[in-house]
Structure 1
Amino acid sequence: MSYAPRNKFELTKAFAEDEALINKKLPKELHLRIFSYLDVISLCRCAQVSKAWNVLALDGSNWQRIDLFHFQKDVEGPIIENISRRCGGFLRQLSLRGCQSILDTSIKTLALLCPNIEDLNLNDCKKLTDTTCHALSRHCSKLQKLNLDGVAGITDLSLKNLSEGCPQLTFINISWCSNITENGVEALARSCPKLKNFISKGCKQVTSKAVGCLAKYCPQLEVVNLKGCCNVRDDAVQRLAEKCRKLHYLCLSDCSQLTDASLIAIAHQCRFLSTLEVASCSQFTDTGFQALAKSCCYLEKMDLDECILITDTTLMQLATGCPRIEYLTLSHCELITDEGIRHLSMSPCAAENLTVLELDNCPLITDASLEHLTSCHNLQRVELYDCQLITRMGIKRLRNHLPNIKVHAYFAPVTPPPSAGGSRQKYCRCCVII
Structure 2
Amino acid sequence: MMPIKYIVVLPSLNIAKIPDKLLLKIFSFLKHRELGRVARVSKKWRMLAYDSHLWQVVSLRSEYSGLHINSIDSLVALISIRFGSTLRYLELPCDLVTAPVLHELANRCPNLKFMTLDFSNAMQLHDFNDLNAFPCNLKNLCICLSEVIFLEGFMRRIYSCLSSLEVLHLIGTFEQSSEAEEDIYEVINIGKIKAHTPNLRIVNLYGITFIDDSHIELFASNCIHIECLALNFCLRVKGSSFKLLIQRCKKLKTLLLQHAGLDDQHMINAPWEMSMVQELDLTSTELSADCLENILLRMPGFSHLALAHCEFFSDRVLDLLSQKGKLNKVRSLDVSNTHALSENAIYQIIQTHGRTLEGLGVAGKPKLTENFWLNVIPLLRRIRICILGTANGWFLKIQSKIHVDQIVEAFAQNSPKLERLEIQWDPDTIRFSDKSNKFVDHIRLRCPLLRSFTLSDGEYYEMAKSNFERADRLKVVRTTTNYNTTCTSLLPCFKDLLFN
TM above 0.5: yes
Which residue does 1:237 correspond to in 2? 242
Q: Tell me the secondary structure at the aligned position of residue 221 of structure 1.
A: coil
1:256 alignment counterpart: 261
Summarize the Cα distance change of 1:195–1:133 in structure 2 as closer, same or farther, 3 Å threshold.
farther
2:319 aligned residue: 316
User: Are 2:332 and 2:360, in contact at CA under 8 Å, matched by a contact in 1?
Assistant: yes
2:376 pairs with 1:385: no
1:168 is aligned to 164
Residue 252 of structure 1 and its aligned partner are, at CA, apart by: 1.6
Match of 1:114 among 94, 105, 128: 105
Distance 1:49 1:239 in 2: 61
Q: Distance in 2 between the 1:173 and 1:145 partners?
A: 8
Partner AA of 1:371 in structure 2:
F
> Aligned partners of 2:326 and 2:16: how far apart in 1?
62
CA contact (8 A) 1:144 1:171 kept: yes
Matched with 2:289 is 285
Say whether residues 1:399 and 2:407 are aligned partners. Answer: yes
Q: CA deviation at 1:322?
A: 1.9
**Mean Cα deviation higher: 198-207 or 257-266:** 257-266
Conserved 8 A contact 1:264-1:288: no
SS at match of 2:89: strand
For 1:126, give the aligned amino acid: N
Q: Residues 206 and 376 of structure 1: is their aligned pair in 2 closer, same or farther, counting only changes over 3 Å?
A: same
- Take 2:373 and 2:405, find their aligned partners in 1: how far apart are those partners? 11
Q: 1:36-75 to 2 correspondence within 5 Å?
A: 37=28, 40-41=32-33, 43-60=35-52, 62-68=54-60, 72=66, 74-75=68-69
1:122–1:149 CA contact under 8 A, matched in 2: yes
**Is 2:306 the counterpart of 1:303?**
yes
The 5 Å alignment of 1:265-284 reads 265=270, 267-271=272-276, 273-274=278-279, 276-284=280-288
CA contact (8 A) 1:141 1:166 kept: yes
Q: Is the 8 A contact 2:361 2:388 kept in 1?
A: yes
| TM-score between both structures, scaled by the size of structure 2 | 0.64
Query: Which shows bigger deviation, 215-224 or 288-297?
Result: 288-297
C-alpha distance in structure 1 between counterparts of 2:287 and 2:399, whole Å: 32
1:94 — aligned with what?
Answer: 89
Measure how far apart 1:346 and its partner are: 1.9
- In 2 relative to 1, CA 412–60 (structure 1 residues): closer, same or farther, beyond 3 Å? closer
- CA gap of 1:158–1:315, structure 2 versus 1, over 3 A, is farther
Distance in 2, Cα, partners of 1:385 & 1:298: 28
Shift of 1:56: 4.1
Return 377-386 or 260-269, whichever deviates more.
Answer: 260-269
Which residue pairs with 2:443 in the alignment? none
Deviates more, 1:200-209 or 1:68-77: 68-77
- The number of aligned residues is 387
Q: What percentage of residue pairs aligned between the two structures are identical?
A: 13
Whole-Å Cα distance in 2 between the matches of residues 260 and 288 of structure 1?
A: 11
Change beyond 3 A, Cα 1:298–1:284: same
Letter aligned with residue 58 of structure 2: I
- Of 393, 413, 424 in structure 2, the residue corresponding to residue 408 of structure 1 is 424
C-alpha distance in 2 between matches for 1:24 and 1:431 = 47
Residue aligning to 1:184: 189
Structure 1 unaligned blocks of 5 or more: 1-19, 414-429
Does the aligned pair in 1 maintain the 2:134–2:158 contact within 8 Å? no
Q: 1:218 aligns with which of 214, 223, 230?
A: 223
Aligned partners of 2:46 and 2:281: how far apart in 1? 49
Q: Give 3-state SS (helix, strand or coil) of 2:237's partner.
A: coil
TM-score computed with the length of structure 1 as normaliser: 0.72
Check the 8 A contact 2:194/2:222 in 1, yes or no: yes
Judging changes above 3 Å, is the alpha-carbon distance between structure 1 residues 141 and 369 closer, same or farther for their aligned structure 2 residues? Answer: same
**Residue 370 of structure 2 contacts residue 404 of structure 2 at CA under 8 Å; is this kept in 1?**
no
Cα distance change of structure 1 residues 367 and 160 upon mapping to structure 2, 3 Å threshold: same
Deviations 1:83-121 (A, max 9, x none): 223246425333437x5xx514x5433211111332112
Deviates more, 1:111-120 or 1:137-146: 137-146
Distance 1:124 1:289, change over 3 A: farther
Task: Please tell me the root mean square deviation across aligned C-alpha atoms, in Å.
Answer: 4.2
Separation (CA, whole Å) in 1 of partners of 2:406 and 2:341: 20
In the superposition, relative to structure 1, how do residues 296 and 161 fare at CA in structure 2: closer, same or farther (>3 Å)? farther
- Counterpart CA distance in 2 for 1:391 and 1:324 is 36
CA 1:281–1:72: 2 relative to 1, 3 Å: closer
Instruction: Please state how far the C-alpha of 1:336 moved relative to its aligned partner.
Output: 1.4
Q: Does 1:80 align with 2:60?
A: no
User: Post-superposition shift, 1:35?
Assistant: 8.3
Q: State the partner residue of 1:17.
A: none
SS at match of 1:211: helix
Seen in structure 2, the aligned counterparts of structure 1 residues 373 and 137 have a Cα distance that, compared at 3 Å, is: farther
Deviation (angstroms), 1:181: 3.1
Structure 1 equivalent of residue 416 of structure 2: none
Secondary structure of 1:347's aligned partner: helix
Match of 2:133 in 1: 138
1:351 is aligned with what amino acid? R
User: Is 1:375 aligned with 2:381?
Assistant: no
- The letter for the 2-side match of 1:173 is H
Structure 2 residue aligned with 1:194: 199
Q: Can you give the 5+ residue segments of structure 2 that lack an aligned partner in the other structure?
A: 1-12, 175-183, 413-420, 430-455, 461-500
For 2:201, give the aligned amino acid.
K
SS at match of 1:86: helix
- TM-aligned CA deviation for residue 210 of structure 1: 0.8
Instruction: Give 1:240 deviation, angstroms.
Output: 1.6
Matches of 1:292 and 1:371, distance apart in 2: 28
**Deviation string, structure 1 residues 257-282 (Cα, Å, up to 9, x no partner):** 432653784742443533x2222321
**Residues 295-339 of structure 1: CA distance to partner in whole angstroms, max 9, x if unpaired?**
443422x33233222211222244442245454333443221123
Q: How far apart are the structure 1 equivalents of 2:42 and 2:331? A: 51
Q: Does 1:333 align with 2:338?
A: yes
Q: Is residue 345 of structure 1 aligned with residue 345 of structure 2?
A: no
SS of 2:341's equivalent in the other structure is: coil
Q: In structure 2, how many angstroms separate the alpha carbons of the residues matched to 1:235 and 1:294?
A: 17
Structure-1 separation of matches of 2:291 and 2:122: 47
Paired residue secondary structure (2:100): helix
In structure 2, the residue corresponding to 1:146 is in which secondary structure? strand
